[in-house]
Structure 1
């Protein structure tokens, strides 16, 4: 008798005699080929679908042994309205592992990981943040290539951290590197995933990030007096979406006042709302940092990172900021993982495009970039 009060999808597979080794092979194949649970069984990659079919055979044979009334309850329990219940159970069993954010990918990198065991020269070339030179992986906007392997970019570079790759961001990163001979781009890899190059299939996106239409003026960007912290918010969770409450933009000038040799640092960090989907029980927020040389009016550095919180530490952060302590420095206790950077000569337009595409989906960043009325920031002020 199936106990629907305590059953979960993974336990159901065990009851159906699906051994852990076969299940683990399916999870690894899904990661390697970037097949999320919702598209299992669509015959995109035969190797993955063969593993799925072997598990599905066990599941269906087990379901056939159940009473008809139990089968109906089973479909209702697992929400199998439009797909065969066996496939839905596999999807639900694989989802927690496929979409997880394991500790290993939040660290600099491990020499024992699948990618770096196969290509130790990449591990040797990691910078202190765990980034690899884009030029070493012959990258395009979706994947990297080394010898006869396809390597996937870091999971935190995926749309909403779990979807397809944020290919427009990576395309912009590659374009910035190619725009000047001295520019150097680096990117984080997902060291769990590796697949044969000959089997890779390109995906196509139907939606795009456009803009920004306008960007802050060169005068404002180059003015050392335009500094401080501004908070731009949608505190009612209204027309600009319910996932993001506000973004914090910090501008700080550092340098020698006598020689008038200033570097202006720009930092942007988002705050997500209670209804913004969590990933693996974690709160993930994006951070962007850029440095501008005010002497020649050129950005020389841009990087993007993700800060990872549990619910308690994130609630403490928000409570602290609601008391008036706005700023990006207060998140330094979070787990921090940098995922891309570029150094060299970066135009204002390229800086704005990188920021906008990194914060894909957060329209508050677009509004900051397109505001045109930034003026002089003095201390912390709350936006609309």
Structure 2
């Protein structure tokens, strides 16, 4: 597997104007670690292309919560398959993960949901966890709520769209596109065609459904209609919003759409849009103006049709069909308003889609299965229409591109420029909190994780420094492990584990005080300039590692504050905010680089360069290997003395 490291999230306000607290981010990791431990499942979750559950690209794992004087970042890595063996292993892991998670999240609610619906859970029902825990069966919601689906009822139109105001009069909208019927205590949801790839496995297009709701509520004279999902009914108490941190900027183009010339425009997707969104091109057709008589007044209208042509079949449709987003609007030049706007999915069989793919929209004809999803009739302002149109085509940059929007710098480049990254310097102080399932042995000891090759031997070692720290840590390691020190003003202390006991807090405070005292002596004596000190302990079968790294004097300052900052009987979510505040007090920073060294092992490391002098205590095995390899040159008498252990 190929590894790629990234910042998954932060505690700062993001482009969606959301802010996740450091405690909330940490709590999420704790819950995942515990759930994985109890179910004996691998740590991590599937990684998907653009949140599309049908496009698994790898396996993602959180590596730790990184704290500097500016923010808290969630660091992680994504494993990408490099060959067929990797791909098979990834597929098997994803299948097991989805089955386990869906079972765990739906099982507590199945019986009650089934009973509320009036069925038993074994009556052809399947269950899935999306915005709510849903029971699924073809026509399930339509059977129980014919008033929202049958076209012969008073508020469902000929296309199967329900009047939105009537829907709101009978339900509460818990989340964009998610409606709670309090009378039956069930959840109805917008049609699956509002989801990526038209599939129930993907989240709703909340950008569009939020805009739809806002425009409908703010314009009482505007008639709005929406298609609901006929196959799903949900359990209200389980409802929660699904957040996709994909930034969709929306329109910024000129509002004078009356000047747009008639005819067809075709915008071909760039490589990035094709790769991430699966969109090949978008065709936009403004028809020539036509004159109508409205209320005895002559008025000019222009009609618009938009269709998005995609590259791959839609998993939400049977038999490998292609589902393309389509929109239609009518514009009144006199009113300078959109008077009608609707959106739909045009579904094509394979052969028909090949024909459609090569044709222009004005010559394509109607050779698809047409499913209308929403509709507005009345006076819709151009800015509101722009918002709705862009959000409906979420992810397709060709829509705002056609209407004149400039790409944001970050969207056009896709990443921070490398020159800007190179200019960043590492912070003077940082901390990393990492979690892993497991238990610690009794006592306080250094844990070897690395090996030093000397000749043909691989010797486990722990790094202890070369001064006061080395003396303080003497004996805090297994006898078969070699303590080493490096003469380069850098200390990367090996992980110091403090095992659980009745007096854990007292032992922790004592060890921290001893470390801080020894570190300060080595700083004063000029032995250490930079240091990384990882300390770990156990809390209910979860091992917590806290690493402090940076300038040794600052590391020492925070080290002394740890006993008052940390309650070892509580998980890090209860004290990470205090830790972040303390780091910001001691070493405030702005736009610093992340210390990535060691993160893959759940710690922070100070990077070394060049040849470094190393020292270790003489013993027979080590000396023999060093002499045999040529690493150590000693007079014969000294060699015999060392080998004799004298």
Q: Does TM, normalized by the shorter one, top 0.5?
A: yes
Greater shift, 253-262 or 206-215, is seen at 253-262
Check whether the contact 1:248–1:328 (CA below 8 A) recurs between aligned residues.
no
Question: Residues 287, 328 of structure 1: CA spacing in aligned structure 2 closer, same or farther, 3 A cutoff?
Answer: farther
Q: Secondary structure at the match of 2:271?
A: coil
Which whole-Å CA distance do the structure 2 matches of 1:248 and 1:132 have between them? 29
Q: Secondary structure at the match of 1:136?
A: helix
1:115-264 → structure 2 map (5 Å cutoff): 115-122=141-148, 123=150, 124=153, 125-138=155-168, 139=173, 140-146=175-181, 147=183, 148-162=185-199, 163-220=202-259, 226-234=261-269, 237-242=270-275, 243-252=278-287, 253-256=289-292, 260-264=298-302
Deviation for aligned residue 1:152: 1.2
Deviation for aligned residue 1:371: 5.5
Aligned to 2:410: none
Deviation for aligned residue 1:329: 5.7
Deviation for aligned residue 1:183: 0.9
* Unmatched runs of 5 consecutive residues or more in structure 1: 1-38, 44-72, 92-96, 100-111, 373-384
Structure 2 counterpart of 1:355, from 389, 395, 413: 389
Superposition misfits of 4+ residues, deviation over 3 angstroms:
75-79, 81-88, 256-260, 276-280
Structure 2 counterpart of 1:312, from 347, 351, 354: 351
Question: Residues 149, 297 of structure 1: CA spacing in aligned structure 2 closer, same or farther, 3 A cutoff?
Answer: same
Which whole-Å CA distance do the structure 1 matches of 2:88 and 2:258 have between them? 62
Aligned to 1:293: 332
Structure in which a larger fraction of residues adopt strand: 2
1:113 aligns with 2:139: yes
Which whole-Å CA distance do the structure 1 matches of 2:211 and 2:97 have between them? 42
- Deviation per CA, 1:242-266, whole angstroms, max 9, x where unpaired? 4222211111222249965111111
Which whole-Å CA distance do the structure 1 matches of 2:196 and 2:238 have between them? 23
Aligned to 1:333: 367
Which whole-Å CA distance do the structure 1 matches of 2:301 and 2:343 have between them? 19
Check whether the contact 2:251–2:405 (CA below 8 A) recurs between aligned residues.
no
Aligned to 1:380: none
Which whole-Å CA distance do the structure 2 matches of 1:85 and 1:180 have between them? 45
Which whole-Å CA distance do the structure 1 matches of 2:394 and 2:205 have between them? 8
1:367 aligns with 2:397: no
Q: Secondary structure at the match of 1:190?
A: coil
Question: Residues 220, 192 of structure 1: CA spacing in aligned structure 2 closer, same or farther, 3 A cutoff?
Answer: same
Question: Residues 360, 331 of structure 1: CA spacing in aligned structure 2 closer, same or farther, 3 A cutoff?
Answer: farther
Which whole-Å CA distance do the structure 1 matches of 2:98 and 2:235 have between them? 29
Deviation for aligned residue 1:315: 0.8
Which whole-Å CA distance do the structure 1 matches of 2:388 and 2:206 have between them? 12
- Could you say what the CA RMSD is over the residues aligned between the two structures, in angstroms? 3.5
Q: Secondary structure at the match of 1:165?
A: coil
Aligned to 1:80: 92
Q: Secondary structure at the match of 2:92?
A: coil
Check whether the contact 2:252–2:405 (CA below 8 A) recurs between aligned residues.
no
Structure showing greater relative contact order (alpha-carbon pairs closer than 8 Å, 6 or more residues apart): 1
- Deviation per CA, 1:356-382, whole angstroms, max 9, x where unpaired? 11111111112012269xxxxxxxxxx
Aligned to 2:303: 265
Which whole-Å CA distance do the structure 2 matches of 1:77 and 1:218 have between them? 52
Question: Residues 76, 232 of structure 1: CA spacing in aligned structure 2 closer, same or farther, 3 A cutoff?
Answer: closer
Deviation for aligned residue 1:79: 3.5
Check whether the contact 1:278–1:284 (CA below 8 A) recurs between aligned residues.
no
Which whole-Å CA distance do the structure 2 matches of 1:344 and 1:261 have between them? 15
Q: TM-score, normalised by structure 2?
A: 0.38
* Unmatched runs of 5 consecutive residues or more in structure 2: 1-31, 37-84, 104-125, 129-137, 407-646
Which whole-Å CA distance do the structure 1 matches of 2:95 and 2:356 have between them? 42
Q: TM-score, normalised by structure 1?
A: 0.62
Check whether the contact 1:287–1:305 (CA below 8 A) recurs between aligned residues.
yes
Which whole-Å CA distance do the structure 2 matches of 1:260 and 1:251 have between them? 20
Deviation for aligned residue 1:86: 10
Question: Residues 84, 196 of structure 1: CA spacing in aligned structure 2 closer, same or farther, 3 A cutoff?
Answer: closer
Check whether the contact 2:264–2:284 (CA below 8 A) recurs between aligned residues.
yes
Report the count of equivalent residues: 273
Which whole-Å CA distance do the structure 2 matches of 1:98 and 1:282 have between them? 25
- Deviation per CA, 1:321-360, whole angstroms, max 9, x where unpaired? 1xxxx12562511000000111222111111111111111
